[in-house]
A and B are shown apart, each in its own frame.
Chain A
Amino acid sequence: MKRNSKRLAIALLIGFIILITIVPSWLGIYNDYRQLILILIGINIILAVSLNLINGYMGEFSVGHAAFMGVGAYIASILSVYLVTESTVFGPARLPEGWSILVFPLVLIIGGIIAALFSLIVAIPSFRTRGDYLAIITLAANFIFKSLVENMDKIGGPRGFMGMGKVTRAMESTVDLPWVMLWTFIVALLTVYVVRNFVSSIFGKGIVAVRDDEIAAELMTVNTRRVKVVTFMLGCGLAGIAGGLHAHAIGYINPSSYFIMQSVNIMVMVYLGGMSSISGSVISAIGFTILLEFLRPLELYRWVVTPLLLILLMMFRPSGIMGSRELTDFFPALRKIFGTTDETFEEKLTHVSASD
């Protein structure tokens, strides 16, 4: 029975994605603006959940998440523009237009992998120590990323890089689907799925043990350095994929799109939702994106709201919307569908002993 309800849930989720992406765009309900908001919600879900893995579950303090997003954005954009479009920078297209559908997911993954490798440069020196060091080094990484890209004239430097719009148009003219939105939701769903699985496995719970008491973890045979590096790379790799999606959704990127302001926004989403709560991050990513759009008439003052929100949050609800709980804690019925097998197995064991 459980198996069936799980399958049903997966089918429902896939159906839901199709329902909110493909069908309305065929019916012409989405204008470009509404579509962009939906994509941004999906991207923010990926970013918030992936940063939560680092700042929440692992208890480290990364303040430069946007740098990894930026690495993914630039790598994916450069590759896709190089391969399937004609551009002033790279000259004629290397592949026919129709290939863009295949190229797009591929460049996203490559962007994610490169971002993960970039994070390794940060992780290796900083994880020998603990706490504030990662904050300083990730901050530095964000600056390094910005100055590095600004000094690469070939890809536009501070003026930015464009041409991704052609790639999305190429995909849409080959098969008429809202490709970027579709992939955004697929990646968002996969992110939630993978992160939830990871933190419920013994391997992933190792990072919670490290956060709680690192020396005890190390002495209880946990390879602390390995779990920390793997977790950090997973979080940053997902941010890299989100960056690739972001670049193709906006169509134009520049180094300052992935600077401190963006890093702060992701952090606000994580703290708003609650540390080590995946559902909290998802809820706050949706709420925060919509809130920012409603505040658009405020123009520059919009950026006053974000820090203000953080201050209010720290004053009145320091643990965030969800604290460290998940939706399944409030609605145990959901556990049948979204719970890990492991949870239900544990429950069974406990019940057996209770009836003894």
Chain B
Amino acid sequence: MSLLQIEGLTHNFGGLTAVDDFSLDLGDNDLVGLIGPNGAGKTTVFNIVCGLYKPSRGKILFNGTDLSGRRPHQITSLGIGRTFQNIRLWNELSVLDNLRIAHFSQIKYGIIDSFFLTKKLKEDEQEVTQEAYELLELFTLQDFAQELPRNLSYGVQRRVEICRALVIKPRLLLLDEPAAGMNQGEISALMDLVRWVREKFQVTVWLIEHQMRVIMGICERIKVIDFGRTIAEGTPQEIRSNPKVIEAYLGEEVA
């Protein structure tokens, strides 16, 4: 059974069709890319999957569960972690807290426990802190545990964001332009990181990216959309030579 199944997804913003009849099947441990020119509707697809927008038409199944009508936090609690195009860490909270709060849906104690710091809460939270800390160590971010995200470099913030998404214990990781604003050296490191995360945490990775090096370098399958419509789908080699893709990116050839 596939992990994520999207069928005939369509979304309109007023009169504009941002996503038109989008379908996709993601299996366990896949690494799939989604590309397209600016404004093609890539992030909109992610936002619909996470429940931020309600699709006009179409159906999304995650691990066999229909996602329609669920609120975003319920959807992500099922095991969907994501990062954002413009990094959205909580800048007023330490890196460690950023990770710990992502643990929200897995909290074992109740509201009353949080008023009186009961033993149950302490035990649960110590475990969460320990886990978050171990995750930071795995990413060699432990030195930044008490720092505020805004004081960190761009590349480190990206890594913290991926780290935070992993706290959810996701089966599907949505990365929205993880390489945006990075230099070539950082991009190489990021590609290694994404591959490593997929192996280590056994997640399916679905990423949006403009950097062709990343897309061609790590994705097994690529889907190309333009003006909300799917124009091509296939392996990196197939996409590279697809005339429709070239047209979308470079424009029509003048005869």
Seen from chain A, the residues whose Cβ lies within 8 Å of a Cβ on chain B are 194, 197-198, 200-206, 208-209, 211-213, 215-225, 230, 234, 340-342, 345-346, 349-350, 353
Contact = CB atoms under 8 A, between A and B. Distances in A.
B182 interface: no
B35 interface: no
A212 B103 CA distance: 17
A341 B126 CA distance: 9
Contact of B84 (A194, A200, A204, A216): A216
Contact of A220 (B104, B117, B137): B104
Interface string B121-143: 11001101110010001000011
B96 interface: yes
A353 B142 contact: yes
A349 B146 CA distance: 11
Given A198-B115, A202-B128, A349 B104 contact: no
B105 interface: yes
Given A203-B111, A215-B52, A221 B104 contact: yes
Contacts of A211: 92
B31 to A, nearest CB: 21
A203 B126 contact: no
A219 B77 contact: no
A346 B132 CA distance: 11
B4 interface: no
B115 A224 contact: no
Contacts of A220: 76, 101-102, 104, 164-165, 167-168
Interface of B: 50, 52, 71-73, 76-77, 82, 84, 88-93, 96-97, 100-107, 109, 111, 113-117, 121-122, 125-126, 128-130, 133, 137, 142-143, 145-146, 164-165, 167-168
Contacts of A219: 50, 52, 72-73, 76, 82
From B73, B88, B114, residue with most partner A Cβ within 10 Å? B114
B47 to A, nearest CB: 9
15 contacts: A194-B115, A197-B114, A201-B113, A202-B100, A203-B107, A203-B114, A205-B100, A215-B52, A217-B101, A220-B76, A221-B105, A342-B129, A345-B126, A346-B145, A349-B129
Given A215-B52, A345-B126, A221 B102 contact: yes
A216 B146 contact: no
Contact of A222 (B82, B104, B113): B104
A209 B133 contact: no
Given A209-B93, A212-B90, A222-B104, A353 B143 contact: yes
Nearest to A347: B146
Given A202-B103, A216-B84, A208 B73 contact: no
Given A209-B90, A216-B88, A216-B90, A203 B72 contact: no
B116 A205 contact: no
Given A216-B88, A353-B143, A205 B73 contact: no
Given A202-B103, A202-B107, A205-B93, A218 B116 contact: no
Nearest to A354: B143
Q: Which 6 A-B pairs have the closest CB atoms?
A: A221-B105, A201-B114, A216-B88, A212-B90, A220-B102, A222-B104
